Structure 1
Amino acid sequence: MRILLAEDDQTIALGLVTALRKEAYAVDHVEDGAMADAALMSQAYDLLILDLSLPRLSGIEVLTRLRHRKNNTAVLILTGRDGVDDCVRGLDAGADDYLAKPFALAELFARVRALTRRGSGNTNHIVFGSLSYNQADREAHINGELLKLSARELALLELLVLRAGKMVGKEQLIDKLCSWGEEVSSNAIEVYVHRLRKKLEIGDIRITTVRGIGYSLELAPSGSNH
């Protein structure tokens, strides 16, 4: 899942970017409204975390422009302002949820999970063959056994299981898994896929490869786990 964070407070932004990346999200950060508006026109995001008090272009204006472009990206407003008027304006302008500063990271993560689930149109619990994936907890089990996955492997599995049975292109994986400035090659994606494929071998699912196109999560043929 890819997130755009529009926050001009560098201390808050650094903390949020670090925390969200540890949760296996790809995060891009901009520090003013004009940069946020430009990023939203050039890149598809699963979620926008938007501070209302941005320089150059206010958060409300960024949100208004986004919705005028018929862009339905989920939006979580952050505000440190007193009172509820600004939050009400944000919700009326098309925001999906809001958090008032200061807030606990656990609450932010819960809001992020809820909004990204809503955007993907999926429920908390996804079952595909012997694989069970819980989007709320971001945990995967095969035959009831917890899979120990790195942040990148978890993000990759989530992308594949949300599109189980459908082809996911390499460029799409790179786009969703990587933040700005990260140099992740096609070969690196192959390494992540290989590692994840090995961990899925205990179940009845597999990652199939269409060379030059991408990958798909499929049920293994009867009698085979490979």
Structure 2
Amino acid sequence: MLSSSIIFSPPHPMTTYHFIRHGESEANEIRAHLICGRSSETPLTQKGIHQARLLGHWCTNQQLQFDHVFPSKAVRAMQTAQYLCEAMHIALENVIPLDDMEEKDQGDWTGVLRSSIYTPGKLKEMNDSDGHFAPPGGESDRQAAGRMYKAFIQHIVPATQGAKHVAIVSHGNVIRSLVKYHLNYPVSWADGLKNTAVTSIIKAPETEDFRVLIYNQTDHYAGEDTFSLC
């Protein structure tokens, strides 16, 4: 993991894109034993609201300001963007929701007990598929990552030319799949993103390819009692 000073001060003037997992949702808290998938109407818990505000205060403390914010249209992502922006005094008109930033669609598995699906045999089948396995009626990791990456390249990047920092508030599975399958970053199922964790990427000037600066950064959790969260 790179230091926060490198994250927010890249060596060349360029746009840094910060993919942020949403704050803790009610599904994370009370339905963790179920496969939640998109669960787009699930709101944040009070802890999730606190996490979003905490990240906003930390970003301000780091002298980081987002020029644009693109959340998925899921309630938990929209609320995370809202509380983040309020803490950073970012006008909500700079927040543009995008469908394709949504979580991986788990299809028929949505709402089913994890223990009934994720048997050792099924987990091996999924791991051996290299991201091509899809639940019935749902998306594979590669399909979800491809959907997100296409929207990122076709909509977000052209709309943010000249910006210094851009936030994309999305979801754990799809962010992890994006950096693994499109940015060749070595992550596994064990490398799950924490709520409001930040994954930052830039376009490498020498190749024009995007590369990961940091994955799953949660520095804003440290010393949170030093911030005023009123």
Tell whether the structures are fold-level matches, with TM greater than 0.5. no
TM-score interval, smaller chain: under 0.3
Please state which structure has a larger fraction of its residues in strand: 1
- Higher relative CO (CA 8 A, sep ≥ 6), structure 1 or 2? 2
> With structure 2 as the length reference, what TM-score do the two structures score?
0.26
Structure 1 length as normaliser, TM-score?
A: 0.26
Max Rg structure: 1
